[in-house]
């Protein structure tokens, strides 16, 4: 085999390997493991909520896990005049289009990476209304 052919084969192999690595975990690199969602309250009034120990203002936007979702708690201690309420956003809502592209380009390794990270999921409707109840 000529030296020029060996170089061509080596370059092609390197390019193919680089492309395979680039497309591996496609949803992970393009989507990430969290998604921004919009939260509002059922009565339209602002409240302070607790998500995994972090205080957030509603209405507002937060990033939550695509895989495990989140539990949003509106606590009377943080919101005088309100009763304690809890709202669960379930993860694994809908498969992301990036995941399907990854099956084609990245194969089993890439789709497994996306599955393990949770980035293969997305929230079909990223707008959630948190039910709140004012004390009477």
Q: What is the pLDDT of residues 56-112, one digit of tens each?
A: 999 999 999 888 889 999 999 999 999 999 999 987 766 665 566 666 665 665 656
- For tokens 């990270």, the residue is 117
In this structure, is residue 102 part of a structural domain? yes
- Per-residue pLDDT at 129 exceeds 70: yes
Q: pLDDT category, 41, cuts 50, 70, 90? A: very high
In this structure, is residue 76 part of a structural domain? yes
The range of the structural domain enclosing residue 63 comes to: 20-130
In this structure, is residue 67 part of a structural domain? yes
| Spatial separation of the C-alpha atoms in residues 97 and 86, rounded to whole Å | 31
In this structure, is residue 135 part of a structural domain? no
Closest CA to 131 of 81, 90, 82, 92: 82
* pTM of the complete model: 0.68
In this structure, is residue 55 part of a structural domain? yes
- CA-angle at 96, arms to 25 and 33, nearest 5°: 55
In this structure, is residue 6 part of a structural domain? no
In this structure, is residue 10 part of a structural domain? no
- If one counts the domains in the chain, the total is 1
In this structure, is residue 15 part of a structural domain? no
| Spatial separation of the C-alpha atoms in residues 78 and 70, rounded to whole Å | 19
């Amino acid at each position: 085999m000529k030296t020029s052919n060996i170089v061509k084969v080596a370059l092609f192999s390197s390019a193919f390997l680089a492309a395979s690595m680039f497309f591996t975990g496609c949803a992970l690199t393009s989507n990430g493991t969290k998604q921004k969602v919009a939260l509002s309250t059922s009565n339209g009034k602002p409240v302070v909520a607790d998500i995994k120990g972090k205080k957030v203002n509603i209405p507002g936007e937060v990033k939550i896990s695509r895989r495990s979702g989140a539990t949003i708690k509106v606590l009377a201690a943080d919101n005088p005049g309100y009763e304690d309420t809890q709202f669960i956003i379930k993860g694994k809502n809908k498969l992301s289009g990036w995941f399907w592209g990854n099956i084609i380009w990245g194969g089993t390794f890439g789709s497994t990476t996306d599955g393990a990270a949770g980035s293969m999921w997305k929230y079909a409707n990223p707008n959630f209304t948190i039910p709140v109840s004012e004390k009477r």
